[in-house]
């Protein structure tokens, strides 16, 4: 992936600290939403940066390590499931983006955000770019860090809440995850405001699979 046209324009205007921002985990039924912000050194770019969805888990891990080593600054922020239920996923995602940018530790000249909504003020001009993770290198880098960080969190949650398979599906609504939900019921990191979890709680259906087998 090459430097995006908008990044080139900002660089030509004299800006150096351009932060890309993206999030991971909006569609999951469990675990936090995680945002990342990255300020790349355009004179020393890591190899392999692309939209995180186009990379394997191993590729993402390798590229993420290179980004952390070579970037001018990078930061991640996580908003937990309880806050997502309270504030809704859009607001939680935007709050995570704001936290990621404001904890970079440097003064940022411009922020490029994936999507069509901007987070609350971050102390610098912001710009939303639809499909930004395929159009701006700094956003793609942020998408990789956010995904790698969130996957690591879900792997730790798999050790704490056994039987759900968080290490496999990362909290997304796969058939295996939905089966575990019906069998075990929601655990503390499930998002109660999401329909599959909410409906199970309303109908009291969890445990039905094991009951039918007995």
Report helix, strand and coil shares of the chain as percent, to nearest 5.
Answer: 50, 15, 35
Cβ-proximal residues to 213 (8 Å cutoff; 6+ apart), any chain = none
The full set of domains in the chain, from first to last, is: 5-158 (3.30.420.10), 162-207 (no CATH)
* Predicted pLDDT of residue 200: 87
Model pLDDT, residue 205: 57
Task: Give the Cα separation of 93 and 144 in Å (integer).
Answer: 16
The whole-number pLDDT of residue 203 equals: 73
Helices marked H in the chain: 5-12, 57-70, 81-87, 89-102, 137-160, 166-169, 175-184, 195-203, 208-213
pLDDT at residue number 204: 66
- Name the nearest CA neighbour of 55 among 16, 1, 102: 1
Asked if 191 and 29 touch (Cβ cutoff 8 Å), the reply is yes
All residues at 6 or more sequence positions from 150 whose CB lies less than 8 Å from its CB, including other chains: 24, 25, 31, 32, 33, 34, 78, 170
Report yes or no on whether pTM surpasses 0.85. Answer: yes
The set of residues, in sequence order, having a beta carbon less than 8 Å from that of 59 and lying 6+ positions away, is 48
- Element (DSSP H or E) covering residue 38: strand 33-39
Tens of pLDDT, residue by residue, the chain (214 residues): 899 999 999 999 999 899 999 999 999 999 999 999 999 999 999 999 998 989 999 999 999 999 999 999 999 999 999 999 999 999 999 999 999 999 999 999 999 999 999 999 999 999 999 999 999 999 999 999 999 999 999 999 999 999 999 999 999 999 999 999 999 999 999 999 999 999 988 876 555 443 333 3
């Amino acid at each position: 992936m090459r430097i995006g046209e908008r990044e080139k324009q900002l660089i030509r205007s004299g800006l150096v600290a351009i932060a890309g921002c993206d999030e991971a985990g909006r569609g999951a039924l469990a675990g936090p939403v995680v945002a990342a912000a990255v300020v790349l050194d355009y004179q020393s770019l890591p190899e392999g940066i692309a939209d995180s969805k186009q990379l394997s888990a191993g590729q993402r891990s390798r590229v993420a390590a290179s980004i952390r080593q070579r970037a001018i600054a990078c930061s991640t922020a996580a908003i937990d499931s309880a806050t997502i239920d309270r504030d809704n996923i859009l607001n939680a995602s935007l709050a995570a983006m704001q936290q990621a940018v404001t904890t970079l530790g440097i003064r940022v000249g411009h922020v490029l955000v994936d999507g069509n909504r901007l987070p609350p003020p971050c102390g610098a001009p912001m710009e939303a770019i639809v499909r930004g993770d395929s159009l701006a290198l700094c956003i793609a880098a942020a998408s990789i860090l956010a995904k790698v960080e969130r996957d690591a969190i879900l792997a730790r949650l798999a050790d704490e809440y056994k039987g759900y398979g968080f290490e496999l599906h990362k909290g997304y609504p796969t058939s295996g995850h939905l089966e575990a939900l019906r069998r075990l019921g929601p655990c503390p990191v499930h998002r109660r405001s999401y329909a599959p979890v909410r409906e199970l709680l309303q109908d009291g259906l969890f445990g039905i699979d094991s009951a039918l087998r007995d």
